[in-house]
């Protein structure tokens, strides 16, 4: 069975998503967390879509406002559907 070349990115993104999901609760952060399924879909979509052309960025690199603008811009450039873009944005915002 041949593995997809994207699988390491997906595995890393999903691991980061799981670690990040637990972090706000442990730190006492009051930032709302998204639906866990949306978060997981966003992590995978982020790795699969954004990882095709970009090095995977640390979600903490930008603020929520910046990620909103970036996702809107890249949704058009990369032809990402609306629900996938919402998933990616939810993942990035919850992870920063």
With tokens 């699988």, the residue in question is: 7
How far apart, in whole angstroms, are the C-alpha atoms of residue 4 and residue 25?
A: 33
Q: Is the pLDDT of residue 28 over 80?
A: no
What's the pLDDT tens digit per position in 37-72? Answer: 999 999 999 999 988 888 888 899 999 999 999 999
Q: Is the pLDDT of residue 2 over 50?
A: no
Instruction: Give me the torsion for CA of 82, 83, 87, 90, rounded to 10°.
Output: 70
How far the first Cα of the chain sits from its last, in Å, is 36
- Share in percent of the chain as helix, strand, coil (round to 5): 70, 0, 30
Mean pLDDT computed over 17-34: 60
pLDDT band for position 15 (50/70/90)? low
CB atoms within 10 A of CB 9: 19
């Amino acid at each position: 069975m041949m593995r997809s070349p994207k699988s390491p990115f997906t595995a890393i993104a999903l691991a980061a998503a799981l670690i990040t999901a637990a972090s706000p609760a442990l730190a006492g952060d009051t930032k709302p967390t998204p639906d866990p399924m949306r978060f997981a879909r966003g992590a995978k979509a982020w790795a699969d879509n954004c990882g095709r052309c970009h090095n995977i960025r640390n979600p903490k690199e930008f603020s929520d406002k910046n990620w909103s603008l970036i996702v809107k811009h890249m949704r058009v450039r990369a032809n990402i559907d609306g629900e996938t873009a919402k998933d990616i944005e939810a993942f990035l915002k919850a992870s920063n």
